[in-house]
A and B are shown apart, each in its own frame.
Chain A
């Protein structure tokens, strides 16, 4: 594949888990002294071609884990290994799809996608050509000249997806990427993601608060407890057949069994998170 030539680190063979958290804990300083222990020391592994979804109540530190894996946030304790090597600075193997709009509003959709290659030294004309190919893949071939404010929320997410995937990262980090979208658009985006992912099955760490979405998309669902000192309290293999359709898979009996099993574990934590907010 053409894109593969640009892969970061093709020279060295990649071994081991794509992401491994080793006793990783994060606490944030609090105004007035002291610190808030957001995530208790946690171990987690994401395999080289594994799609792992993390679910948990709001404010449980799911996004914190993701920012650590991206190298945007330094953990307070423990270490992160990316393909066996300790992570220092920005994670060059990873592409990050943010919850909020992250495309540059001053660039057109095509320029936004092309810039991801240009910063790596690809000549502009070639970058623009390949950006057009990716815009087509995410269903935006006619929207290349549009500025982000003229696109819908779902279309902006597609631009973001193309921007991340054009670099062909080995690891995809996704922070409730479809959270702000309406239910129909979420399922369409879920299918788009599954279709693109099926090509080379990158390692994915997918954060969501939507359990159905998590089961529909992933190979494994990890459940986190309510914060403070959030930790992993459940790890479920999702043995649904692939390729899947993100909407139709919800009708399969096995989906409901899995959903019930995980939700039983999750519910207590969600109630705890609410209880603390209310009380």
Chain B
């Protein structure tokens, strides 16, 4: 299948889905709309709403008379920038990034540490499994209580999702270093520090990177769910506000923006992955 052929088919699927949606919502079949506007909005309305949101937000910034204060980008009362769709995106982006970075760093460190200390890992094993089994949504209200309505309660929620993915992958990566490569490295005269640097570390990182798509996705999910449950800004907040007023068009607009936002981030992740995992065979890279 050629690249353009595949692209055409992909576009076709989208067009058909949107067409079905549009016909269902606007053309009565036997005097009955099988996708009533009130519940499903229409693709045209949703597209218009998205356009309005971005046009309005961009215009607000473009016509701004005051200089934009970069230190107040995350303040909802910031002049010109506050409460625009751009600010909502920035909130979600920053919360997601913080959750990812903190979760990944903690996951790598603790995963490494426990993998190299079998006794510790055996002691902590039931607790880690227990925490991981917990549905994270139930933690959201607790985090709101502890950390307030600002970004940190969302970062915390994203952290609990990212941490376990990275942790389990790094743990596995260290445990499953090929015994032959390890024995070979020992025979080449590597000491513990060199083994760490040249064998365990690259192996663990490769496992972590193979879960990059999943963990970045979960970081965003954490941010959006957190916003949805209690916040004053972000894409989750936007969607929640629209739901509160039965504004289906607003909800769908928020969902489309969120989907495109995640696609763009995923594209960056793929770029990063291609650079970092250049040594892996193509079949193994880019999965997970």
Which chain A residues have a beta carbon within 8 Å of chain B's beta carbons? 70, 72, 90-92, 94-96, 98, 100-108, 115-116, 119-120, 147-149, 160, 163, 167
Does B187 contact A104, Cβ atoms closer than 8 Å? no
Q: Show 16 A/B contacts (Cβ-Cβ < 8 Å), sorted by A.
A: A72-B183, A72-B186, A91-B187, A98-B183, A98-B184, A100-B178, A101-B178, A101-B180, A106-B206, A107-B198, A107-B279, A119-B189, A119-B190, A148-B279, A149-B279, A149-B280
Residues 202-220 (chain B) with a chain A CB within 8 angstroms: 202-203, 206
Partner of A115, one of B178, B186, B188, B279: B188
Does A105 contact B187, Cβ atoms closer than 8 Å? no
A92 to B189, CA, bound (A): 7
Main secondary structure of the interface of A (DSSP, over half): loop
Does A104 contact B180, Cβ atoms closer than 8 Å? no
B132 within 8 A of A: no
Does B279 contact A106, Cβ atoms closer than 8 Å? yes
How many interface contacts (CB-CB < 8 Å) are there between A and B?
Answer: 67
Please name all residues of chain B whose beta carbon is closer than 8 Å to the beta carbon of A100 when the two chains form the complex.
Answer: 178, 180
Query: Nearest 4 CB-CB pairs, A to B?
Result: A102-B184, A106-B202, A149-B281, A96-B187
Please name all residues of chain B whose beta carbon is closer than 8 Å to the beta carbon of A119 when the two chains form the complex.
Answer: 188-191, 194, 198
Does B180 contact A105, Cβ atoms closer than 8 Å? no
Max count, chain B CB within 10 A of own CB: residue among A120, A149, A167: A149
Residue of A nearest to B205 (CB): A106
Does A96 contact B183, Cβ atoms closer than 8 Å? yes
Please name all residues of chain B whose beta carbon is closer than 8 Å to the beta carbon of A103 when the two chains form the complex.
Answer: 181, 184
A92 to B253, CA, bound (A): 67
A102 to B187, CA, bound (A): 11
B9 within 8 A of A: no
Residue of A nearest to B191 (CB): A119
Does B279 contact A102, Cβ atoms closer than 8 Å? no
A104 to B186, CA, bound (A): 12
Partner of B278, one of A102, A120, A147, A148: A147
Does B181 contact A102, Cβ atoms closer than 8 Å? yes
Known contacts being A100-B180, A107-B279, A147-B278, is A94 close to B202, with CB within 8 Å? no
The 8 A CB mask of B165-193 against A (1 = contact, 0 = none) is: 00000000000001011011111111100
B199 within 8 A of A: yes
Residues 191-245 (chain B) with a chain A CB within 8 angstroms: 191, 194, 198-199, 202-203, 206
Does A116 contact B188, Cβ atoms closer than 8 Å? yes
Please name all residues of chain A whose beta carbon is closer than 8 Å to the beta carbon of B181 when the two chains form the complex.
Answer: 101-105
A72 to B185, CA, bound (A): 12
Please name all residues of chain A whose beta carbon is closer than 8 Å to the beta carbon of B198 when the two chains form the complex.
Answer: 104, 107, 115, 119
A95 to B183, CA, bound (A): 11
Please name all residues of chain B whose beta carbon is closer than 8 Å to the beta carbon of A90 when the two chains form the complex.
Answer: 186-187, 189
The 8 A CB mask of B257-288 against A (1 = contact, 0 = none) is: 00000000000000000000011110000000
Residue of B nearest to A116 (CB): B188
Partner of A70, one of B187, B199, B279: B187
Please name all residues of chain A whose beta carbon is closer than 8 Å to the beta carbon of B189 when the two chains form the complex.
Answer: 90, 92, 116, 119-120, 167
Please name all residues of chain B whose beta carbon is closer than 8 Å to the beta carbon of A105 when the two chains form the complex.
Answer: 181, 279-280
Residue of A nearest to B184 (CB): A102
Does A147 contact B190, Cβ atoms closer than 8 Å? no
Distance in Å: Cβ of A190 to nearest Cβ of chain B: 21
A149 to B194, CA, bound (A): 23
Please name all residues of chain B whose beta carbon is closer than 8 Å to the beta carbon of A148 when the two chains form the complex.
Answer: 279
Please name all residues of chain A whose beta carbon is closer than 8 Å to the beta carbon of B180 when the two chains form the complex.
Answer: 98, 100-102
A98 to B190, CA, bound (A): 17
Please name all residues of chain B whose beta carbon is closer than 8 Å to the beta carbon of A116 when the two chains form the complex.
Answer: 188-189
Please name all residues of chain A whose beta carbon is closer than 8 Å to the beta carbon of B281 when the two chains form the complex.
Answer: 149
A74 to B97, CA, bound (A): 49
A102 to B188, CA, bound (A): 11
A107 to B202, CA, bound (A): 9
A148 to B278, CA, bound (A): 11
Does B187 contact A94, Cβ atoms closer than 8 Å? yes
Partner of B188, one of A101, A108, A163: A163
